């Protein structure tokens, strides 16, 4: 079982919504589409579902061409950002509805509904109508309905976006569990990098209608192929500084020089952009070998456990995340540092030329 898109594109009123995309989703895989609003996540999902017809390219389901096939005849389920349930039916009937359409026996339906309710913690409210339950429960009901019919492809379009923060946290844990139990191909759209990481599986990063990279979540996070992907997969946004590579090493705008070791030793001389994530910015006692900068503090944000520093350095604006709570005065000069090992290097075409070494893979328990 697999879903394969070959050169699939979508053009609406002369505007390209999806550039030709090639992607293969394997049986039993979790695939997260990550990108900002209007990057093409929903358009791509609609193409996968068969709700829209691609302008070019072909779509294969288990090696069969299903490009023109109606959505009704395909084996899919969809969960939307809005909580879509039948308002006049109880939670039980909502979950049972797709099974009834498939003419299952009453006993079979009952068993399946109760199984789904158990999985999604809906057992106690099976008799309630959607209007009487909370938003989180409504969305769980919609998910139960989508999963009840046991389809090959489950599409979820930002299903948690309209939920309270804590409910989101709860469902984020539940979704991978559901996915494992179902064995279907899951496609999940989100704007939040952390959500993509927590859901695991594969990540496809999208930007302006293009899939910029597709691969296991951690590989994409730690080895973004270009600056765009790095930006999409960082929250707070990735910080950048322009550097110069020459025979002596890597030169920063203020003249600081660090030796070009490891991968950076092999890149040709020239101008590069170095990028790093917020939590790699350091303050206070710097590690030996760290690149240090005099930063001007714009604003600090305290989160209870950590501090976000918004600073300006050599005309660039950076966001740093440091552990602990430290309040500073706006406008204050701060010595900050960067571990050179945490830098990504992008060439003038924004392609990745050197990434930090992957931390040693943790031994799974």
Judged by the rule CB under 8 A, the positions of this chain that interact with other proteins are 36-37, 50-53, 68, 70-71, 134-135, 164-167, 169, 191-194, 197-198, 200, 217-218, 221, 231, 235-237, 277, 279, 298-299, 301-305, 308, 310, 319, 321, 325, 330, 359-360, 362-365
Q: How far is the CB of 239 from other proteins (least distance, A)?
A: 11
Pairing of strands 344-346, 352-354: antiparallel
Q: Give 162-171 contacts, CB < 8 A, sequence gap 24+.
A: 162/81, 162/82, 162/83, 162/135, 163/135, 163/136, 163/139, 164/135, 164/136, 167/134, 167/135, 167/136, 170/136, 171/136, 171/139, 171/140
- Whichever of 248 and 302 has its CB closer to other proteins, that residue is 302
Burial label, 8 (beta-carbon count in 10 A; 0-12, 13-18, 19+): buried
- Location of structure tokens 């804590």: 166
- Whichever of 63 and 327 has its CB closer to other proteins, that residue is 327
Q: How far is the CB of 268 from other proteins (least distance, A)?
A: 30
Sign for the CA dihedral angle at 306, 310, 314, 316 comes to positive
How many CB atoms are closer than 10 A to CB 292? 14
Q: How far is the CB of 169 from other proteins (least distance, A)?
A: 6
- Whichever of 131 and 365 has its CB closer to other proteins, that residue is 365
Q: How far is the CB of 108 from other proteins (least distance, A)?
A: 30
- Whichever of 22 and 301 has its CB closer to other proteins, that residue is 301
- Whichever of 145 and 231 has its CB closer to other proteins, that residue is 231
- Whichever of 20 and 35 has its CB closer to other proteins, that residue is 35
Q: How far is the CB of 360 from other proteins (least distance, A)?
A: 7
Q: How far is the CB of 195 from other proteins (least distance, A)?
A: 9
- Whichever of 148 and 336 has its CB closer to other proteins, that residue is 336
CB–CB of 241/332 below 8 Å?
no
What whole-number distance in Å separates Cα of residue 119 and Cα of residue 122?
Answer: 8
Pairing of strands 185-190, 257-258: unpaired
- Respond yes or no on whether the N-terminal peptide bond of residue 236 is cis (omega within 30° of 0): yes
Q: How far is the CB of 175 from other proteins (least distance, A)?
A: 12
Q: How far is the CB of 50 from other proteins (least distance, A)?
A: 7
- Whichever of 114 and 308 has its CB closer to other proteins, that residue is 308
Q: How far is the CB of 71 from other proteins (least distance, A)?
A: 7
- Whichever of 66 and 89 has its CB closer to other proteins, that residue is 66
């Amino acid at each position: 079982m697999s879903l394969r898109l070959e050169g699939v594109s979508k053009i609406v009123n002369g505007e390209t919504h999806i550039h030709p995309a090639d992607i293969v989703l394997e049986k039993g895989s979790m695939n997260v589409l990550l990108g900002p609003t209007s990057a093409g996540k929903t358009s791509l999902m609609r193409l996968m579902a068969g709700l829209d017809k691609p302008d070019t390219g072909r779509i294969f389901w288990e090696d069969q061409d299903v490009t023109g096939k109606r959505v009704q005849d395909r084996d899919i389920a969809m969960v939307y950002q809005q909580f879509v349930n039948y308002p006049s039916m109880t939670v039980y009937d909502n979950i049972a509805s797709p099974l009834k359409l498939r003419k299952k026996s009453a006993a079979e339906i009952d068993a399946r509904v109760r199984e789904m309710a158990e999985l999604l913690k809906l057992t106690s409210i099976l008799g309630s109508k959607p209007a009487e339950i909370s938003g989180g429960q409504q969305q769980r009901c919609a998910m139960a309905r989508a999963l009840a019919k046991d389809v090959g492809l489950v599409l979820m379009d930002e299903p948690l976006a309209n939920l309270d923060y804590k409910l989101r946290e709860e469902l984020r844990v539940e979704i991978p569990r559901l996915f494992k139990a179902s064995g279907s191909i899951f496609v999940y759209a989100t704007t939040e990098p952390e959500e993509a990481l927590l859901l695991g599986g594969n990540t496809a990063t999208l930007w302006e209608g293009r899939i910029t990279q597709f691969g296991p979540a951690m590989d994409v996070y730690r080895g973004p192929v270009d600056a765009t992907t790095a930006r999409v997969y960082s929250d707070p946004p990735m910080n950048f500084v322009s550097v110069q590579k020459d025979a002596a090493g890597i030169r920063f705008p203020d003249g600081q020089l660090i030796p070009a070791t490891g991968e950076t030793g092999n890149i040709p001389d020239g101008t590069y952009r170095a990028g790093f994530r917020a939590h790699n910015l350091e303050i206070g006692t710097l590690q030996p070998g760290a690149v240090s900068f005099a930063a001007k503090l714009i604003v600090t944000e305290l989160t209870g456990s950590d501090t976000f520093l918004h600073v300006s350095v050599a005309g660039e604006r950076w966001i740093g995340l440091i552990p602990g709570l430290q309040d500073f005065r706006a406008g204050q000069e701060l010595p900050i540092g960067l571990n050179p090992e945490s830098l990504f290097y992008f060439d003038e075409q924004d392609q990745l030329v050197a990434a930090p070494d992957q931390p040693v893979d943790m031994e799974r328990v």
